[in-house]
Amino acid sequence: MSTLSSVAAQALQRKIVSADYSPGERLPSQRELALSLGISRTSLREAISMLEALGLVRSHPGKGVYVSERAVHDEVPKGPSGITPESIFQLRYIVEPAAAALAARYASEAVNQLQETQDGLERALHKLDLVSAAEWDLEFHKRLARLSGNPSLAAVMQQSEIKIGYSLRLPFANTQRIWETVDEHKSIIQAVADGDAERAREAIQRHLLCAASRIGIRFEQP
């Protein structure tokens, strides 16, 4: 499940958590970091983007990348290609409730696939490994789409993976509320297991609205 960029993000996260890099400290140059981590600058930029979405670092054009002094965003960073978080959450609100309802209708017996990702998410949160937690969170939503039984719907999620992954990382910056995701996932899993399509739809709608609220944004519901 891990890519070079996520492995690099985890390595930098460990240095930040262990105070090798202190709050407010400027990270080494991209050239130095890429060399020390054994990755390309492209992979390094992706890793830094992950950490920025998680609220662990801040990029200052012309100055460098600094370790954040606060866990919660003062200003939510723009997503890939400048796409706003609001637009990504709105897309997910259109697509994911349908996936959850279809999964409950046709794949309730495969709910263990969702539980596996939930277990991974909880293990990561217990260790405060936010990079891994966000990866498990993304896998949960991708599997839910696959369980819908609709290949086109699953393809939409796959094609939007980078944008959706970014939107999933943002709420984890609010470390005081990271366990809320776990509780919201449990409601989705239970509704799918019970074969209750309408409850599954409502559970993921609540989840998306709550996730957006954790980073202080609102989006227009269709």
- For 203-213, the pLDDT digits (tens) are 999 999 999 99
* 8-state DSSP, 40: -
pLDDT band at 136 (very low <50, low <70, confident <90, very high): very high
Q: What is the pLDDT of residue 198?
A: 98
Q: Which residues pair with 64 in a beta bridge?
A: 60
Tokens of residue 17, six digits = 């958590």
Q: What is the pLDDT of residue 73?
A: 46
Paired sense of beta strands 64-67 and 57-60, if any: antiparallel
Q: How far is CA 73 from CA 53, 68, 87, 131, 203, in A?
A: 9, 9, 18, 16, 26
What sign does the CA torsion over 60, 33, 31, 51 have? negative
Q: What is the pLDDT of residue 3?
A: 84
Helix ranges, the chain (H): 4-17, 30-37, 41-53, 85-106, 112-126, 130-147, 151-159, 161-169, 180-193, 197-214
pTM for the full model? 0.81
Tokens of residue 11, six digits = 């390595």
Phi-psi region of 22 (alpha: psi -120 to 50; beta: other; left: phi over 0): beta
Residue found by looking up tokens 């699953």 in the block: 154
Domain ranges of the chain: 4-67, 80-214
Q: What is the pLDDT of residue 76?
A: 55
Classified as helix, coil or strand, 137 is helix
Among candidate residues 60, 107, 87, the one with its CA nearest the CA of residue 167: 87
CATH number of this structure's domain 4-67, picked from the four choices 1.10.10.10, 3.60.70.12, 3.40.50.300, 3.30.565.10: 1.10.10.10
Whether the predicted pLDDT of 124 surpasses 70: yes
CATH architecture of 80-214: Up-down Bundle (1.20)
pLDDT tens for each residue of 99-115: 999 999 998 888 999 99
Tokens of residue 50, six digits = 């992950």
Q: What is the pLDDT of residue 69?
A: 80
Q: What is the pLDDT of residue 175?
A: 84
Over range 64-84, report the average pLDDT. 68
pLDDT band at 219 (very low <50, low <70, confident <90, very high): very high
Q: Say if residues 210 and 180 touch (Cβ distance below 8 Å).
A: yes
